[in-house]
Amino acid sequence: ETGVTQSPTHLIKTRGQQVTLRCSSQSGHNTVSWYQQALGQGPQFIFQYYREEENGRGNFPPRFSGLQFPNYSSELNVNALELDDSALYLCASSYGTGQYSPLHFGNGTRLTVT
Amino acid sequence: QKEVEQNSGPLSVPEGAIASLNCTYSDRGSQSFFWYRQYSGKSPELIMFIYSNGDKEDGRFTAQLNKASQYVSLLIRDSQPSDSATYLCAVNMIANQGGKLIFGQGTELSVKP
């Protein structure tokens, strides 16, 4: 069974730039959720994708956008980067959108904005 | 009031002792509850999930849920130094958005040899 994989592992960007993070879901999983985790805090929900459509969004501005592809992999795009966007970005996959499907996280992408 | 609250710790216990981690949540309609372990610099790893009132045991771990009092706890028996990590409590509050978990800020556990 292949777990959730994310790329890249680390990324350094300059304020105002754009970034794309990628995620491959665990085999058998069709739903992908993205989280942002600032240092010393719990992860915060950004959005979830199911059947290539956004299915729920947290309190993040529109410059955070995403995609899901037919093979269930997903991208997180962040435009006009701000210093506060520096965080660990986590992708999690699950089967379906029900509340009884535990999330399994990838290793994350550490984004630093300077 | 935060939606999911945990004591930030650090909680320090001697090796072999029982570690007790607690979590309270605000939405009385919440149905599913999860405990994740996160080592420093790593991603969260699912330890336990619980949906019904009462206790659920898995090896050295026991999750306890009390929906009337809106709290969920995690007990770790025979604590080992390798259990030293931050433990995150997560709650799902929206039935058809299972991916939307509300996390507490985590409790740091330190197990001393």
pLDDT in tens, B18-53: 999 999 999 988 989 999 999 999 999 999 999 999
Q: What 3-state DSSP class applies to B2?
A: coil
Contact at CB, A42 and B104, closer than 8 angstroms: yes
HEC string for chain A: CCCCEEECCEEEECCCCCEEEEEECCCCCCEEEEEEECCCCCCEEEEEEECCEEEEECCCCCCEEEEECCCCCEEEEECCCCHHHCEEEEEEEECCCCCCCCCEECCCEEEEEC
**Looking at the partner chain, which of A42, A88, A92 has a beta carbon nearest the beta carbon of B99?**
A92
Q: What pLDDT is recorded for position A59?
A: 93
What confidence tier does A99 reach under pLDDT thresholds 50, 70, 90?
confident
Neighbours of A76 (CB within 10 A): 26
Chain A partners within 8 Å of B91 (Cβ)? none
The answer, yes or no, to whether residue B12 has pLDDT greater than 70, is yes
CB A68 within 8 A of CB A87: no
**Looking at the partner chain, which of A44, A96, A105 has a beta carbon nearest the beta carbon of B44?**
A105
What confidence tier does B98 reach under pLDDT thresholds 50, 70, 90?
low
- Which of A2-6, A35-39, A43-47, B76-80 is predicted with the least confidence, judged by mean pLDDT? A2-6
**Looking at the partner chain, which of B98, B103, B106 has a beta carbon nearest the beta carbon of A99?**
B98
* A62: exposed, middle or buried (Cβ count in 10 Å: 0-12, 13-18, 19+): exposed
- Is A46 in CB contact (< 8 Å) with chain B? no
> For B43, which residue in chain A has the nearest alpha carbon?
A107
- Is B103 in CB contact (< 8 Å) with chain A? yes
- Is B10 in CB contact (< 8 Å) with chain A? no
- A12 vs A79: CA distance, rounded Å: 14
The answer, yes or no, to whether residue B97 has pLDDT greater than 80, is no
> For A58, which residue in chain B has the nearest alpha carbon?
B100
- A82 vs B68: CA distance, rounded Å: 42
- B73 vs B43: CA distance, rounded Å: 21
Residue type, B72: V
Determine how β-strand A104-105 pairs with β-strand A5-7. unpaired
Closest by CA position to A44, among listed A88, A97, A100, A74? A88
- Is B15 in CB contact (< 8 Å) with chain A? no
Residue type, A1: E
pLDDT in tens, A45-97: 999 999 999 999 999 999 999 999 999 999 999 999 999 999 999 999 999 88
